[in-house]
Structure 1
Amino acid sequence: MRLIFVGDVVGRSGRTALYRELPRLREQLQADFVVVNGENAAGGFGINYDIFRDMRDAGADVVTLGNHAFDQREALVFIEREPTLLRPVNYPKGTPGRGSGLFDTADGRHVLVMNVMGRLFMDPLDDPFVAIDRELDACPLTEGCDACVIDIHAEATSEKMGVGHFADGRASLVVGTHTHVPTADHQILPNGTAYMTDAGMTGDYNSIIGMEIEEPLIRFTRKLASGRFEPAGGEATLCGIGVEIDDATGLANAVGPIRCGGRLEPVLPGFWNA
């Protein structure tokens, strides 16, 4: 199985890049399944229904969220009727929506996708490790699913790495989101799980993590807010990761970064000979 994960889509620029690049990537890399993190897609904060549907139409099988999951209030409503939109699984009981799901590829294979949020330097939710354990035990690789993807939306690299090793051998891919900068540590962990600390954002990199430069700089230098954060509007780079998964074990055979368009050096996973 070939799988693509696309990092946090930020604002209109990020959406434009996603809609332009993802259909081509999916065909070129012959991907069987695509997961996109969309939690910054609506003006940099949250997601709305129209954007969610456009992401699905562009080729996303599942859209994950994070700490901005409900910044757009309409998400509290439509997430209940959209099983392919996932908020963090470790939100308290009673929170609208769901944090994991079992989804089918076009040829009938089953992919477990889980969105989980870290607790270090973020508003703390329930224990992410307990939540991950529960979901993996309920749907183990090769028994309940053919592949498993965990989007760990967290601030601390240590916590993301902790989740990677905690799920090593039980998930096909553990990939970090939230910090909006692609890391260079894509690898296969000792027990076969593909890992990357952060997939990077799909947004304008002539920015401060996707936002126009002026307002963050004012806050850094003067410790005062002069206005709202606004997503940068230049040409975006689509960033993510590609994984080739062994059909027999559900574990990774190969992993590589994806970067398309915008300011960053383009790269595609070499093992796919794309």
Structure 2
Amino acid sequence: MRIAFFGDVIGRSGRDGLAEHLPGLRRRLGLEFVIVNAENAAAGFGITESTARELFEAGADCLTLGNHSWDQKEALTYIVREPRLIRPLNYPILADAPGRGAQLFETEAGKRILVVNLLGRVHMDSLDDPFAAVDRELEACPLGAAADAVVVDMHAEATSEKMAMGHFCDGRASLVVGTHTHVPTADAQILSGGTAYQTDAGGCCDYDSVIGNDKEEPLRRFTTRISGGRYRPASGPATVCGVFVETHPGTGLARRIEPIRLGGRLSQHVPQVDAVAAE
């Protein structure tokens, strides 16, 4: 399968950037499934039905969330009605969080892809153990048997926790990719067991910013320790950041991973592939 994953979409700029570039990327790369982290899609805080609809119309097949899942209260009811929207799997059982933390999708060609969303615990909200949660999910839906591909979105602050999750899932997932820090890392690789990995996919946002936000308020807080108001998404042209993964037929493990960086201020990189998917 040919799969693309895009990091945190931040505000209007990120949504517009994805709408501009994703349809062409789907055709050029022969993408069979597209996953987008959308927890900052609504003015930088959470997601709404209308912002989710924009991303689906742009070409996303599935949206994942993170620590801002419920910033927009309508998300609590929208996620119940929308199976393509996934929140972190490792909410405590007693929380009775709405929606799903993992979902098995079927592509138009009949291929099955499991998408799992996790929230880290280092310098983040204290949820249940993400390692135990993903272990149960991967045991219940094994790669190469119940699923043709498995993608894990590890929404976490600490690079060490993300890397540990990559190795924990190695050989059992097609891709483990980090989100949340909004800056693409330079470590795209295939781990020893065959799982593609990148510590952070980066943000889909204006990079003339502080992690996607207008510079003034973060700078004020860092230099004076006094808040002057809410963070606001930067509004310049977005760079669309993500990863492209191609899997082996049969095993579902990765045979290729490359970063995607298109538009805006960052150096542009789009994988070079034939227009028609290999499998």
User: Quick check: TM above 0.5?
Assistant: yes
Q: Which amino acid aligns with 2:166?
A: G
Q: Deviations over 1:4-55 (max 9, x none)?
A: 0011000000000011111110111110100000000000000000111111
Of 120, 125, 133, 1:123 maps to 125
Residue in 1 that maps onto 2:179: 177
Task: Please say if residues 258 and 269 of structure 1, whose CA atoms lie closer than 8 Å, have aligned partners that are also in contact.
Answer: yes
Residue in 2 that maps onto 1:48: 48
Q: Is it true that 1:24 corresponds to 2:18 in the alignment?
A: no
Of 228, 239, 243, 2:241 maps to 239
Q: Is it true that 1:112 corresponds to 2:114 in the alignment?
A: yes
CA RMSD between the two structures: 0.8
Instruction: Quote the offset at 1:142 in angstroms.
Output: 1.2
Task: Please say if residues 172 and 192 of structure 1, whose CA atoms lie closer than 8 Å, have aligned partners that are also in contact.
Answer: yes
1:4 match: secondary structure: strand
Residue in 1 that maps onto 2:198: 196
Residue in 2 that maps onto 1:166: 168
Q: Is it true that 1:12 corresponds to 2:12 in the alignment?
A: yes
Residue in 1 that maps onto 2:66: 66
Instruction: Quote the offset at 1:269 in angstroms.
Output: 2.0
Q: Which amino acid aligns with 1:13?
A: S
TM-score (norm 2): 0.97
Residue in 1 that maps onto 2:80: 80
Q: Deviations over 1:67-93 (max 9, x none)?
A: 000100000011011111000000122
Q: Which amino acid aligns with 1:68?
A: H
Task: Please say if residues 255 and 269 of structure 1, whose CA atoms lie closer than 8 Å, have aligned partners that are also in contact.
Answer: no
In the TM superposition, 1:122-161 aligns within 5 A as 122-161=124-163
2:55 match: secondary structure: helix
Number of residue pairs aligned between Structure 1 and Structure 2: 273
CA separation in 2, counterparts of 1:253 and 1:269?
14
Task: Please say if residues 245 and 257 of structure 2, whose CA atoms lie closer than 8 Å, have aligned partners that are also in contact.
Answer: yes
CA separation in 2, counterparts of 1:136 and 1:23?
31
Q: Is it true that 1:90 corresponds to 2:75 in the alignment?
A: no
CA separation in 2, counterparts of 1:273 and 1:206?
33
Task: Please say if residues 28 and 274 of structure 2, whose CA atoms lie closer than 8 Å, have aligned partners that are also in contact.
Answer: no
CA separation in 2, counterparts of 1:54 and 1:182?
23
Task: Please say if residues 184 and 202 of structure 2, whose CA atoms lie closer than 8 Å, have aligned partners that are also in contact.
Answer: yes
Q: Which amino acid aligns with 2:195?
A: T
1:96 match: secondary structure: coil
TM-score (norm 1): 0.98
Q: Which amino acid aligns with 1:108?
A: G
CA separation in 2, counterparts of 1:254 and 1:29?
13
CA separation in 2, counterparts of 1:107 and 1:260?
28
Task: Please say if residues 154 and 177 of structure 1, whose CA atoms lie closer than 8 Å, have aligned partners that are also in contact.
Answer: yes
Task: Please say if residues 8 and 182 of structure 2, whose CA atoms lie closer than 8 Å, have aligned partners that are also in contact.
Answer: yes
CA separation in 2, counterparts of 1:202 and 1:18?
7
Unaligned ranges ≥5, structure 1: none
Task: Please say if residues 180 and 200 of structure 1, whose CA atoms lie closer than 8 Å, have aligned partners that are also in contact.
Answer: yes
Instruction: Quote the offset at 1:233 in angstroms.
Output: 0.3
Unaligned ranges ≥5, structure 2: none
CA separation in 2, counterparts of 1:14 and 1:67?
18
